[in-house]
A = this chain, B = another copy of it.
Amino acid sequence: MKKICFAVYFLIRGATLFAEDGYRLWLRYDKIDNPSLLQHYRNIISGIQFPASSPTLIVAKKELVDGLEGLLGKKLNVAERQNIASVRVGTFSMPLINSIIKNDNLNLGNEGFFIVTKKINGKNNILIAADSDMGVLYGVFQFLRLLQTHQSIEKLSIISIPKIQNRILNHWDNLNRIVERGYAGASIWNWHLLPGYIDKRYIDYPRANASIGINGTVLTNVNANALVLTKLYLEKVAALANVFRPYHIKVYLTARFSAPIDIGGLKTADPLNVDVRNWWKQKVDEIYNYIPDFGGFLVKANSEGQPGPQSYGRTHADGADMLADALAPHNGIVIWRAFVYDIPATQNTNAETQTFAGLPYSLNDRFKQAYNEFKPLDGKFRKNVSIQVKNGPIDFQPREPFSPLFGAMPQTPLVMEFQITQEYLGQATNLVYEAPLFKECLDADTYIKGKGSIVAKVIDGSLENYSVTAMSGVANIGNERNWTAHPFGQANWYAFGRLAWDYNFSPAQVADEWLRQTFTNDLHFVEAAKKIMLMSRETLVNYMTPLGLHHIMGTGHHYGPAPWVSNAGRADWNPVYYHRADSVGIGFDRTEKGSNALSQYSVEVKTQWEDVNSCDEKYLLWFHHMPWNYKMRSGKTLWEELCYKYYAGVDSVRWMQTTWEGLKNYVDIERFEQVQMLLAIQEKEAVWWRNACLLYFQTFSKMPIPPNYEKPDHDLEYYKAL
């Protein structure tokens, strides 16, 4: 007995030698720490019957057995005898399922699943069933999630079907392992060691993705390198695709438009040139030889220096359709990005001295350009082309109104592009839960087909009857031990997957799930940490860009405040272009008197936002240049409200810090300290943003920071010098 106790002691202790390094993400499967619940689960789950022969069913079964054995802390009976098993898993084509339930009228489709409690021989059994292998896989992960989050499994009846067909991560990973806008170390794709070396991450990556419903991944940066399309690299891509396939993750690549020149030896990449078209056709055939279920191409063309069809006097449609024709025989798709902007060369001159306050608004307001370029092309694209549109019209700001393209292209499937990596959201140091940002956009009403025409219904195809639907998220994944550097960065990866599966999930619900799986089910912890998460995005908006301010961060690296910058290489890279602060007021006039960008929205939206009285104040400076003493709904002047928001942002970070301090005893010391240190950095950065922005805007408003607020501890010159 003493020996056993020693053994137990050691094993407990030994486990602590493995610190909680975050590598396991939300798939932790540690034993249920509530004894009565554990006993209850053990009673219900007496064994598993899961005949698995296909690769997808085999990995699903392994996940289920590993997961349950971890959660229940016991070896499971996985024999095929019916009198032991109480959990039956399989497709509706299998007798162990269809002898009990039918899939009539369930309409599960290719990916949906059904988890249901059924009495068999007087005993309750749980069936996890689907029409397809991948449906079973998703059902298994959902069942494990029920236990991981301490839900009841007594009387189950869960039908779940994804709203969007293609739920895709976009990796902005270069072949040299540098991740553009990546803040979590190097790319997890070690191209040098592929195809011979299969890193353990290449298995845990599709596991994590499948568990939240992601079914596609673009491996390479939209600022593309054609080398990935060469034989040498396709062998490496195929090795990854082979590992991902059982988990129902399709591989996509970015296609550099000049690839026929770069690696094909041609003199042109003109999409109407026969040799070019043939080259792509052969290249695509070659790709499908390596990767029979290849997803297709993601393309950034004629944007920020990337080559494209316009270099040959052709349209985006000409370019996309050429690739689509090559992909069509293999059922591949083209996802063409709408992130394009260009301004007349004349506006680029004298960048050193340009200021925008008081100048007439450009007709080429960057806000308008994606719409201007793509709207006329509606109907010109092949069936297997989608246009990928960033959630907002500019570039992943802390808050943007929805892009006016959503709803404006009824004949062209539009793909939502969210950015999971926190390029403008504090990068690796700020705790910002993005589900509220995603949701705000998805829930926004375009009024395109009357009230209720929310962006989500554009994207899911229900409004315009799209044949292809997709949602993309720019990944925040790197090779740091915990994948995302900030422990709470994992929540954004998780939330993207869950909302792409079903945008009806609430941010609170997703946060709740994630916290329970990732940290603990202790209610005190979950409730407090959830509050932190749910307030975090609004907090960031407040200390960075309240009231509709946008794009006033440092140029290039996009880190820290720099509203004073006016010398960037092109006009619309300059913060002063966007805030236009002057002695009169602040904000970008996008009404008819200004750039008239509002005219790109439906009448209902335009009417609401062009009138300062009906415009939501959170978008005020997105659309209006308002006087400093304008009276806000709060009764404060605009300047006072701006001060209030910036100070409220910092105060909220401090509240997050205090709240986190109180959670010390509920979470492992490693991650507790990580978040504690990061929140301390975030507090410093919030103060930096607040002080730098208010001191700078004060040079225009000439109004005081209200006396009851703590004084900035440095002057403007100090912040400019940082």
Contacts and interface: CB of A to CB of B under 8 A. Distances in A.
Interface of A: 1, 4-15, 17-19, 21, 23-24, 28-31, 66, 69-70, 73-75, 177-178, 183, 185-186, 190, 192-193, 196-198, 200, 427-429, 478-481, 485, 670, 674, 677-678, 680-681, 684
A479 B188 CA distance: 11
Given A10-B31, A10-B74, A198-B677, A193 B481 contact: no
Contacts of A428: 190, 192-193
A69 B185 contact: no
A73 B17 CA distance: 12
Q: What are the 3 A-B residue pairs with the smallest beta carbon separation, nearest first?
A: A10-B73, A11-B11, A196-B681
Max count, chain B CB within 10 A of own CB: residue among A1, A7, A427: A7
A14 B479 contact: no
A185 B11 contact: no
Given A186-B185, A186-B186, A481-B481, A24 B31 contact: no
Contact of A8 (B11, B21, B479, B670): B11
Contacts of A6: 73-74
B23 A21 contact: yes
Nearest to A559: B192
B185 A9 contact: no
Contact of A19 (B70, B200, B677): B200
20 contacts: A4-B4, A6-B73, A7-B73, A8-B11, A9-B73, A10-B31, A11-B11, A11-B12, A11-B14, A13-B70, A13-B75, A14-B30, A15-B18, A17-B30, A17-B70, A178-B178, A186-B478, A197-B677, A197-B681, A198-B677
Given A10-B73, A193-B678, 8 more contacts: A4-B4, A4-B5, A6-B73, A10-B70, A15-B15, A15-B18, A193-B429, A197-B681
Contacts of A69: 13
Contacts of A670: 200
A18 B18 CA distance: 7
Contacts of A185: 177, 185-186, 479
A19 B199 CA distance: 13
B9 A8 contact: no
Contacts of A30: 14, 17
Nearest to A674: B197
Max count, chain B CB within 10 A of own CB: residue among A29, A30, A200: A200
Nearest to A685: B196
A197 B682 CA distance: 11
Contact of A192 (B17, B75, B183): B183
A479 B186 contact: yes
Contacts of A681: 193, 196-197
A69 B14 CA distance: 9
A28 B18 CA distance: 10
A356 to B, nearest CB: 31
A90 B29 CA distance: 43
Contacts of A66: 17
Contacts of A485: 190, 193
Contacts of A13: 69-70, 73, 75
A15 B30 CA distance: 10
